[in-house]
Structure 1
Amino acid sequence: MANYLKIAVAIDFSEQSLKAFERASQLAIQYHATLLLVSVIDTKSFGAASAYDLKYAEALKKENSSKIEKLAKDALQAGVKEVESVVEAGLPKAILTQLPDVDLIVCGATGLNRMEKMLLGSVAEKVARHASCDVLIVR
């Protein structure tokens, strides 16, 4: 049986990602693992104006950092021994599949994208196919 030392959870603040956060927190407590909260600002979904993109990405990064900080406090109060966080701008699929020193990635089956809600989300599918560690997809 695997011994997970570092568990990453993908957070886009959708209902599914918050369920994944709850499950990842439970697993981090169970395995005495570090919980890594990962929020990726999807720059591909921005428009074409690059100056606007940079300002918008920075505003979202700041907003997501505040939200992630609250989730980190919640996880610590629930009994997780150590919580780290990363807020990045880029392509979620690429960033999540290239996390260093992670033993398990937990993500929701679908995210905020309406089309992704129809089936298994494209981010979850890409992570499941390309991650070098175990992946848990939460519904």
Structure 2
Amino acid sequence: MIKHYQKIAVAIDFSKQSMKAFNRAILVAKDNGASIQLVNVIDTKSFGSVAAYDLEYAEQLKEESLKKMDGLKNEVVAAGVPIVEVVVKEGTAQEILTELPGVELIICGATGVTNIEKMVIGSVAEQIVRLATCDVQLVR
């Protein structure tokens, strides 16, 4: 049985892989008559210790992301998906994406990491697949 999704989240970090996921999300949303949440996460974990965490820098990144995300939102609407929400949050991508309320499908890029990094921390996509309570589609 093929599931028809009503609410789709797509992980956007502006990389080539995430833009492929973005394009796939538009197609899936149009096929299902679904809404899309464009989700960008400011990874505060990469800022280092709390003492080094610069609130102004995080806010600057958030403002830049919101501008880019608004441009993507316009593209989604122009492509024929009328209900689009932009979400820009601070935290870790896997936590933010897997805790979005009402999402039935998460689409994200399957970006590669080195084998050593994967053994130590695992890829974000892998962690999303493990933690998500909804369907996940990885795009190559």
The TM-score, its normalising length taken from structure 1, stands at 0.90
Q: Which residue of 1 aligns with 2:21?
A: 20
Assess, with a 3 A threshold, how the Cα gap between structure 1 residues 46 and 23 changes in structure 2: closer, same or farther. same
1:91 alignment partner in structure 2: 92
Residue 31 of structure 2 aligns with an amino acid whose one-letter code is: Q
CA deviation vs aligned residue, 1:5-40 (integer Å, no higher than 9, x gap):
000000000100000000001111110100100000
Letter matched to residue 132 of structure 2: A
2:105 maps to 104
Task: Go from structure 1 to structure 2 and tell me whether the alpha carbon gap of 1:50 and 1:73 turns closer, same or farther (over 3 Å shift).
Answer: farther
On the 8 A contact 1:47/1:53 being kept in 2, the answer is: no
- Kept in 2, the 8 Å contact 1:96–1:127? The answer is yes
2:135 alignment partner in structure 1: 134
CA distance in 1, matches of 2:85, 2:114: 32
Task: Tell me the SS of whatever aligns to 1:117.
Answer: coil
- Partner residue, 2:113: 117
The count of aligned residue pairs is: 134
Deviations, residues 32-80 of structure 1 (Å, cap 9, x unaligned): 1001000000001013364752111110000000000000000110111
Return the offset for 1:3. 1.2
**1:26-37 residue pairs with structure 2 within 5 A?**
26-37=27-38
- Structure 2, gaps ≥5 residues long: none
| Identity within the alignment, % | 54
Corresponding position: 1:38 with 2:10? no
Q: Describe the SS at the equivalent of 2:54.
A: helix
The Cα offsets for residues 81-113 of structure 1, whole Å up to 9 and x where unpaired, read as 211110001111111111110010000001xxx
After TM superposition, give the deviation of residue 118 of structure 1 in Å. 3.4
Distance 1:5 1:123 in 2: 24
Equivalent residue number for residue 113 of structure 1: none
Partner-residue secondary structure (3-state), 1:102: coil
Distance, in Å, in 1 between the alignment partners of 2:51 and 2:103 is 32
What's the Cα RMSD here? 1.6
**TM-score, with length taken from structure 2:** 0.89
